[in-house]
Structure 1
Amino acid sequence: MAGARTLNNVTCPTPSEVYIIKPSLNKGLGVFAARTLQPGTPIIREGPLVTILPPPVADGADYPREAIMSSLRNAFSSLSESDQSLYLSLYAHVFPTEQLQTDEDYLMPIFRSNSFNTGDSFGLFPKVSRINHSCRPNAAYFWNQRLGKRIVYAAREIKEGEEILVSYIPLLMTKAERAMRLNQYGFKCDCDACAASMGDTVVSDSRRAEIRRLMESLESDLSAEVGSGVVAKRKAQRLVNECLKLVSLVEAEQLVDYYAQAYRLASSSHARAELWEQGAYWALKSLEFREMADEFSPEAYEMRKAAASFTLSSKANLKPDSQ
């Protein structure tokens, strides 16, 4: 979503000097780290320039274009002149069937190319829109309903001068499937995962398919009622092994968007097997990423509570030293 119809070859530092916006090779504009950023470092906190509440539609149906256009026209007309210029400077992927001649004609393609889900509506975020895509991102983002802002933060260490990258799409798909999804933005991804050799691509596709399978099955299995007896213990150990495999695969693929979920599942599986100390360890790992996003979120609260509970259970099960 980064880029623009007109590019200025200038470096644009932010007041906090966390990042700069400048041209990125073959990608229009991009966002780069102005200094080395540690995991969890906030990069952008931005409220929407424009918000559109889509009209209700039947499942599987497209939103009526004219209704969206009407909302866009009203929202755009209420902006200041400088904000209108900012809106129109954003990248727009234009479909071959679209004939655009005036600035108003670009309102829909720009919004379509740069909007994000904001709960029950869609919002356009000019700064966040400058961040380019990667299928192995180094940053993550989320909509914070409490603050009314989209938050971007470093999900791993990002070196000074390194481009900050997020994912525009769900990543548990093959390279070919991801390419099809990215067609809506009008570019072909050339990240490390997509530019890999045929052999490495096969390995990556296989990992992502297995991650998706494991996450779906483990979410179901770990939400089921806990049984008792030998069979239940064997199942608990199997779930532990599968969760550890999941963590290994997610980390091997460097899918930072899925770390918190994988660690949460690992925590739940170890707790089910009454491996309390390990359960607390994985809960704290998940909490680390939940707090990067929002320390006050329900997900962070859940992991904080789980870590404390599992730690107490671990202490309660310690046997006193023999005299």
Structure 2
Amino acid sequence: MNGRKPQAMAEFRQIGSAGDEAAFATTNIRRGTRIIAEAPLVMVPPVSDDEELSEFLKIVNTLPEATVAEMVKIFCQPSVANGIKDNTYVQREVWGFHKARRWKDNDGNILQGKKLQKAVKKSLNLCAIYLTNNVQLGPAGKYGEGVFSLYSRVRHSCVPNAHNSWNPTIGRLTIHAIHDIKAGDQIYVDYTGNVCRTRQQRAFSLSATWGITCDCTACTKSQTDQLRYRMVVLDQALAAYTCGASKDLNFEANHGIPKIMTAREALKAAEELARLLRRQNLHGMELCKVYRECSQYALDGCNRAKALDYARKELELERTLLGMDTGHLKEGLYGAKYWFEHLQKKM
């Protein structure tokens, strides 16, 4: 895409190599503002990993040409895209797709020679775009996977100023401002979905999946990485407590992770994790989850007032990150609103 593509609060400008773009605020954006709400170009329903690529090829083949043309514009790092297109599994899925169609196009014409090669090349290109740009729709892809034209142009930072989330209540991928964003500032989201990782872990994931070398503050300041490492340790310790693994007598010696045995100890660790997140301006969904953990541990320790206080913090932050359309989060008290109401009834 050449030049600028204006949106209400964001515009997209070409940066770096040909085809690569970034999002910039066109006006001052207040914390909690919904910057973008976007429907997917293509949406693949929940299927097994073995079926995902073949399902994508079937679906994309039924899309209007204008939609496919928009998807083709989405940028992929050449090194990553070429690696995907050369992958034996991907090539097998593409050839299998065309074989199942009896080597015919949508008009029923036989594909052979250069026409077949062109069709296969197009399919491989689309697979590369899908595999590097697809977004899980809901936790663990509960609602499937999707590719989004605008979202694919928003760049990554390990210290993002915006949060993306699929909202099945409105059928859109939303992007909300985590912090106040000034006009002209670049808008960033976190691609990795897990801030409790060291710089080396993040660098490997970003390079292997997207061909990205991140130069944000978290990736360039050694003292920040020390904080991230402490976050990793606390996160693992809390996970071990939750699943009961820390009950092993030799747990701390075997794993090098602090042993948490009581709800009071768990609350103390979760509160430290929350402080570390806030200290680094990481006010994303991870902080929401930690507030929920604090609330749950406080409740387990019979401190209902503190449990409600943390539930209130989670609710305020969730509304910043997701907005008010959270009907899809009612099941299992997953959403902060419903957890808060649940606790109020207990008071």
Q: CA deviation at 1:188?
A: 1.2
Q: Distance in 2 between matches of 1:209 and 1:48?
A: 33
Structure 2: any 5+ residue segments left out of the alignment? 87-116, 245-260
Within-5 A mapping of 1:146-161: 146-161=169-184
- Residue 249 of structure 1, aligned match among 270, 276, 287: 276
1:302 aligns with 2:338: yes
Within-5 A mapping of 1:1-323: 7-8=1-2, 10-14=3-7, 17-24=8-15, 28-53=20-45, 56=48, 63=50, 68=53, 70-93=54-77, 94-96=81-83, 98=85, 102-118=121-137, 119-169=142-192, 170-182=194-206, 183-196=208-221, 199-217=222-240, 219-220=242-243, 235-255=262-282, 256-291=284-319, 292-293=321-322, 294-296=325-327, 297-298=329-330, 299-306=335-342, 308-309=344-345, 313=347
Q: Distance in 1 between matches of 2:343 and 2:84?
A: 54
Q: Distance in 1 between matches of 2:309 and 2:84?
A: 54
- Work out the percentage of aligned pairs sharing the same amino acid: 23
Q: CA deviation at 1:24?
A: 4.0
1:54/1:269 CA distance change after superposition, 3 Å: closer
1:33/1:214 CA distance change after superposition, 3 Å: farther
Counterpart of 1:171, as a letter, is: V
Q: Distance in 1 between matches of 2:151 and 2:298?
A: 38
Tell me the secondary structure at the aligned position of residue 90 of structure 1: coil
Q: Distance in 1 between matches of 2:340 and 2:84?
A: 51
Contact 1:267 1:281 in 2 (8 A): yes
Contact 2:85 2:128 in 1 (8 A): no
- Which one has a larger percent helix, Structure 1 or Structure 2? 2
Aligned to 1:321: none
Structure 1: any 5+ residue segments left out of the alignment? 1-6, 58-62, 222-233, 314-323
What TM-score, normalized by structure 2, do the two folds share? 0.71
Q: CA deviation at 1:89?
A: 0.4
1:219/1:136 CA distance change after superposition, 3 Å: farther
Q: CA deviation at 1:111?
A: 0.8
Q: CA deviation at 1:33?
A: 1.7
Q: CA deviation at 1:307?
A: 5.2
Contact 1:281 1:307 in 2 (8 A): no
Q: Distance in 2 between matches of 1:284 and 1:49?
A: 36
1:220/1:96 CA distance change after superposition, 3 Å: closer
Q: Distance in 2 between matches of 1:12 and 1:260?
A: 33
When the two chains are superposed, the root-mean-square deviation of aligned CA atoms in Å is 2.9
